[in-house]
Chains A and B, each alone.
Chain A
Amino acid sequence: MTIPATLDIRPSSLSPDAAALLGRFVLIVLIAGALTAVDPGFASVSNLLNMLRQASLLFLVASGLTLVIIGGGLDLSVGANLTLSACLAAAAIKTTGNPWYGVAVAIGAGTLIGYANGLMINRLQLPPFLATFGMLWVAQGIAYWFMAGQTIYGMPMSFRYFGTGFFLGVPLPIWITLVVCLACSILLHRTTFGREAYFMGANQTAALLSGVPVERRRLLLYVLSGLTAGIASLVYLARLNAAEPGIGEPLLLPAIAAVLVGGTSLFGGNGNIGGTALGAILLTIIVNGLNLLNVAATWHPFVNGAVVLVAIIADLVISRRRSGSG
């Protein structure tokens, strides 16, 4: 035994997950502080709310994806799902004039696509990458066929409220995000379904041999991913006031980036929804800051890529050190 020369002041009561979340939050505060120092306009309420509103769309697409990835799967169809759901909802609203039909159509279409993904993976034993990669093109193709080269625009104000309205001074998309985030968090940590999802993601065979009904759980995970894509499509449609093919696909890679920057492993079994929320905010702030600093848009992908890599490497180093010492 040796007597430690310094006191160990690490917060030993902090769980690894909490520490990872705190680290990301501190990073966001630091970046925000630095940007405020460069341009005080960054910290204005309107800019901050605007950024959160942008991040909320990214988060909504990434939230269901986070659940799927924690459960050991992958959903590449979330962006195309958003496109198709938004186009169908726009058409429903245009023809009926009733925004609630649009809500029902978007949520129905999104969920159905997720259900189809889960079914393909369960019944045909397709790897999730292949099944959802195929679904990406199928959903996109249906959207192109359905829209036949048209753009649907001009949603009624009662519907646009979802994307542009405020409640208690906070944009409605942020409220929706908070509700979805809370719901996912409760699902993951306070239901048996969530605990089983982590176990499936960590070792699917062991989950199966422990009596977890893996196929049913997996189906629900993909349905939830489709559901959040459907919700995201409504927010997107309400903000943009228009729907056309191709609007959702560019969100796929940023959504995966938000999940990874949020600390969820692509191999499943760990991660949490709060991390994805912070990941979405971090990626949005960085783009905002690059604009503020007049960095050419051509450099944005490079910076985003670097952020994703740094986040992944940092998590890896920390977890290796942890398991090495434990």
Chain B
Amino acid sequence: MMHGTENQDEQGDRSLHTPKGSASRAPGSEADAPLLRLVGIDKSFPGVHALKNVSLDVYAGEVHVILGQNGAGKSTLIKTLYGAYAADRGYIEIEGRRVAVARPADASALGIAVIFQEFSLIPYLDIAQNIFLGREAAFSRFGLVDSAAMHAAARTILDGLGLDYDTHAYAADLGVAQQQMVEIAKALSQNARVLVMDEPTAAISERESDRLFQTIARLTEKRVAIVYISHRMKEVQMLGDRITILRDGAVVTSVLRDQKSQAEMVGAMIGRPSGSQLARTPRSPGEPVLLARDVNTAKLSDISIEILAGEVVGLAGLVGSGRTEVVRALFGADPIASGEIALFGSRALATLDRRVRAGMALLPEDRKREGLALPLDVRDNATVASLWRSFTSGWFSPAKAERDTRGLIAQLGIAAHGTRQSVHTLSGGNQQKVVLAKWLAAGSRLFLLDEPTRGVDVGAKAEIYRLIDQLVDGGAGVVVISSELPELVQLCDRAYVMRDHRIVGHLAGDQLTERAILELAVHQ
């Protein structure tokens, strides 16, 4: 079996991170010229201005943290740096020279390596083969790969990182953190001078994170520049020599460590001083429609939630915190391992179709894949969840379906030529309304809305808000998941905040602010 470096240093030794601040090097001192500069990078996609005139200086031997909310532009920035996207404007400089990065291969040649959250190792190649994948020719002897030389070279690189992994081990047998280390080794073997890490601690344990931080310290000693994407405040303050905060595609501020407090950084990520949001009219909720107690699933821990009739409850948290998994478990789409769910006072509704018939509705995050049958028409889609209710005998009447659908089209203001238009020709907002129509027809009383306004235009957004209000006024319970914090704060009476697949907080009334949500949602 393989061991990491824990035999050299006791794991969990916090002093490991202090070399960062030691006087032995002066990371990013302004006297040096930056190793990497992004100058005025601008990038738009249809309907989204993803990066707005972003400039960034990265110095050799420093850790430059990029901080921002979901959708702030972090991923787009990395992909532009890596040549996966072409910037509309702006350019990249390395050591003061302008360089063209049109393809990922260009970035590699310039010494820019990116370690994405999804690793790219080939499971049934060994570590040495993975490190030198595609570059085996360097070890060629008589037309064959000199395996011994390749393993020796891999050994040297791993030793340089303080890793004693067996270079003959298959990638498939490595843990997540070990795979990440091999990715780093692979990047270094390509003489990477700038190493970009996209939320590297998202999938690894704290102990493994400590080893990663040691490795980062070694790399900075070797004058490698690290661009570190994260939203974990603890890491940001521990690792970051320089911190750049992105919001809505633009650089808000770029500071040296200790120049800003954690609260100031959170404020800069949100952008508005808290308390500026619209006033909510308090609602008076009724009976519980849903009670979940200590629900555990393969992806969730100890979820306890209560939803009352006549209120909107938010499920807040970063992407990947388990929000979608919660609504899927409540809906019966994913099996639960333990815990209990009572719907409208009944615990007997075990299966998804029985929950739907009892009045539960799910508006899925991915409406095209999970909400609609795109080739079918508006009528087929709008009636599918209510067939059991509209046609109790099992005999289907096209005339009645037609009438019902016309009513729904009028009620929701769906812009369609008629009831027989196939839904794949509708706009995103109108498709979303068809999904809502389906549940209105089913007479649902508890709506689980997963990102209800994603990918819909401003007009449809306002109509969806209005519809949510109508549903709640009519006594329905509504759960809303949204990555847009202002939307969540505006819509919801209260909210549960999730982090790492569990609920870490509950905010109601005046406590429910963007800042409060974000402080709970990010790692402290």
CB 8 Å contact bits of A65-95 with B (1 = contact, 0 = none): 0000000000000000000000000000000
A239 to B184, CA, bound (A): 74
Q: Are A323 and B357 in contact (CB under 8 A)?
A: no
Q: Are A209 and B395 in contact (CB under 8 A)?
A: no
CB 8 Å contact bits of A257-275 with B (1 = contact, 0 = none): 0000000000001100000
CB 8 Å contact bits of A175-201 with B (1 = contact, 0 = none): 000000000000001111111101100
Given contacts A192-B394, A206-B370, contact A198 B385 (CB under 8 A): no
Query: Is B342 located at the chain interface by the 8 A CB criterion?
Result: no
Query: Is B383 located at the chain interface by the 8 A CB criterion?
Result: yes
Q: Are B385 and A210 in contact (CB under 8 A)?
A: yes
* Set A15, A208, A323, A326: member contacting B333, Cβ < 8 A: A208
Return the chain A residue nearest B331 by Cβ: A209
Q: Are B373 and A194 in contact (CB under 8 A)?
A: no
Looking at chain A, what size class is its interface with the partner chain? 20 to 34
Q: Are B380 and A199 in contact (CB under 8 A)?
A: yes
- When distances are taken between beta carbons in the complex, the residues of chain B under 8 Å from A191 are 394-396
Query: Is B67 located at the chain interface by the 8 A CB criterion?
Result: no
Q: Are A203 and B372 in contact (CB under 8 A)?
A: yes
Q: Are A209 and B362 in contact (CB under 8 A)?
A: yes
Query: Is A207 located at the chain interface by the 8 A CB criterion?
Result: yes
Query: Is A151 located at the chain interface by the 8 A CB criterion?
Result: no
- When distances are taken between beta carbons in the complex, the residues of chain A under 8 Å from B364 are 209
Chain B residues with a Cβ closer than 8 Å to the other chain, count: 38
- When distances are taken between beta carbons in the complex, the residues of chain A under 8 Å from B352 are 208-209, 211
Residues in chain B within 8 A of chain A (CB atoms): 331, 333, 351-353, 355-357, 362, 364, 369-376, 380-381, 383-385, 387-388, 391, 394-398, 420-422, 424-425, 438, 442
- When distances are taken between beta carbons in the complex, the residues of chain B under 8 Å from A206 are 369-373, 384
Return the chain B residue nearest A196 by Cβ: B387
**How many A-B residue contacts, CB cutoff 8 Å?**
87
The 4 closest A-B pairs by CB, nearest first: A211-B356, A202-B373, A192-B387, A203-B373
23 A-B pairs whose Cβ atoms sit less than 8 Å apart in the complex: A15-B420, A190-B397, A190-B398, A191-B394, A192-B395, A195-B380, A195-B396, A198-B376, A199-B380, A203-B372, A205-B369, A206-B370, A206-B371, A207-B373, A209-B370, A209-B371, A210-B438, A211-B353, A211-B357, A269-B376, A323-B422, A326-B421, A326-B425
Query: Is A134 located at the chain interface by the 8 A CB criterion?
Result: no
A199 to B380, CA, bound (A): 7
- When distances are taken between beta carbons in the complex, the residues of chain B under 8 Å from A190 are 395-398
* Set A193, A194, A323: member contacting B425, Cβ < 8 A: A323
Q: Are B395 and A205 in contact (CB under 8 A)?
A: no
A158 to B351, CA, bound (A): 50
Given contacts A190-B396, A195-B396, contact A211 B385 (CB under 8 A): yes
- When distances are taken between beta carbons in the complex, the residues of chain B under 8 Å from A193 are 394
Return the chain A residue nearest B401 by Cβ: A195
Q: Are A195 and B373 in contact (CB under 8 A)?
A: no
- When distances are taken between beta carbons in the complex, the residues of chain A under 8 Å from B333 are 208-209
A265 to B356, CA, bound (A): 30
* Set A192, A212, A213: member contacting B396, Cβ < 8 A: A192
Return the chain A residue nearest B391 by Cβ: A192
* Set A195, A205, A207: member contacting B383, Cβ < 8 A: A195
Minimal beta-carbon separation of B366 from chain A (angstroms)? 9
Given contacts A15-B420, A208-B352, contact A192 B372 (CB under 8 A): no
A209 to B330, CA, bound (A): 12
A55 to B220, CA, bound (A): 78
A263 to B387, CA, bound (A): 26
- When distances are taken between beta carbons in the complex, the residues of chain A under 8 Å from B383 are 195
Return the chain A residue nearest B442 by Cβ: A211
Given contacts A196-B384, A196-B387, A323-B422, contact A205 B370 (CB under 8 A): yes
- When distances are taken between beta carbons in the complex, the residues of chain B under 8 Å from A202 are 373-376, 380
- When distances are taken between beta carbons in the complex, the residues of chain B under 8 Å from A192 are 387-388, 391, 394-396
- When distances are taken between beta carbons in the complex, the residues of chain A under 8 Å from B421 are 326
A15 to B380, CA, bound (A): 15
- When distances are taken between beta carbons in the complex, the residues of chain A under 8 Å from B381 are 199
CB 8 Å contact bits of A202-232 with B (1 = contact, 0 = none): 1101111111110000000000000000000
- When distances are taken between beta carbons in the complex, the residues of chain A under 8 Å from B380 are 195, 198-199, 202
Q: Are B384 and A212 in contact (CB under 8 A)?
A: yes
* Set A199, A205, A213, A269: member contacting B384, Cβ < 8 A: A199
A269 to B381, CA, bound (A): 12
- When distances are taken between beta carbons in the complex, the residues of chain A under 8 Å from B356 are 210-211
Return the chain A residue nearest B372 by Cβ: A206
- When distances are taken between beta carbons in the complex, the residues of chain A under 8 Å from B424 are 323
Chain A CB within 10 Å, residue with most, of B373, B381, B394, B422: B373
A128 to B445, CA, bound (A): 36
Q: Are B395 and A195 in contact (CB under 8 A)?
A: no
A55 to B374, CA, bound (A): 34
- When distances are taken between beta carbons in the complex, the residues of chain A under 8 Å from B397 are 190
Minimal beta-carbon separation of A41 from chain B (angstroms)? 44
- When distances are taken between beta carbons in the complex, the residues of chain A under 8 Å from B438 are 210
Beyond contacts A202-B380, A323-B424: 4 other A-B pairs, Cβ-Cβ < 8 A, are A192-B394, A195-B396, A209-B333, A269-B375
Minimal beta-carbon separation of B516 from chain A (angstroms)? 32
A281 to B333, CA, bound (A): 44
A191 to B374, CA, bound (A): 21
- When distances are taken between beta carbons in the complex, the residues of chain A under 8 Å from B425 are 323, 326
Q: Are A269 and B373 in contact (CB under 8 A)?
A: yes
Minimal beta-carbon separation of B372 from chain A (angstroms)? 6
A210 to B355, CA, bound (A): 10
